[in-house]
């Protein structure tokens, strides 16, 4: 029996969880990416740490296709305007939900936060609805 399909997601999940735990232990804060990004826009004592965190995310994203090119073979079948709109809607939802999937979904759920449970459920429900509407009702035309 082949188990290769589970290894990459399992390793990725362990890395995300481990990085979140290290961030909490080292800084006493959750690794909420939207909050970290927002903190770089205003003067804070830990601005350098926030920038380093974000630069690390970008660096891994830039290097990953060269380390494991097969993971990036699928491509994206949406137009640039649709991708820009999706990004803006995610940003709006992040502000509306007072946090993002890393803060609520990874860190909040692991701490048993009721607020994060509601937020993550809302993320998942609205994401599912959006995927259904675009994929089935609009025929994937965006």
Average pLDDT on 78-105 reads 84
pLDDT at position 59 over 90:
yes
Parse the chain into domains and list their residue ranges: 78-142
Please state, in angstroms and rounded to a whole number, the distance separating the CA atoms of residues 52 and 14. Answer: 21
Identify the residue with better confidence: 105 or 1: 105
Q: What is the mean pLDDT of residues 118-142?
A: 85
Residue 1 is predicted with a pLDDT of 57
Q: State the DSSP string of 82-128.
A: HHHHHHHHHHHHHHHTTS-IIIIIIIIHHTT-HHHHHHHHHHHHHHH
Residues 6+ apart with CB under 8 A from 24: 30, 31, 107
In this prediction, residue 142 carries a pLDDT of: 67
Residue 141 confidence class, pLDDT cut points 50, 70, 90: low
């Amino acid at each position: 029996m082949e188990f290769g399909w589970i290894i990459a997601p399992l390793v990725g999940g362990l890395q995300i969880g481990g990085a979140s735990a290290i961030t909490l232990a080292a800084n006493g804060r959750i690794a909420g990416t939207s909050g970290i990004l927002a903190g770089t826009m205003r003067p804070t004592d830990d601005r350098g740490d926030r920038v380093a965190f974000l630069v690390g995310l970008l660096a891994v994203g830039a290097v990953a296709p060269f380390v494991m090119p097969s993971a990036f073979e699928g491509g994206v079948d949406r137009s640039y305007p649709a991708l820009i709109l999706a990004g803006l809607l995610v940003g709006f939802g992040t502000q509306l939900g007072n946090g993002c999937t890393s803060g609520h979904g990874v860190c909040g759920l692991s701490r048993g936060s009721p607020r994060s449970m509601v937020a993550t459920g809302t993320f998942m429900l609205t994401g599912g609805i959006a995927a259904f509407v675009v994929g089935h009702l609009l025929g994937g035309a965006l």
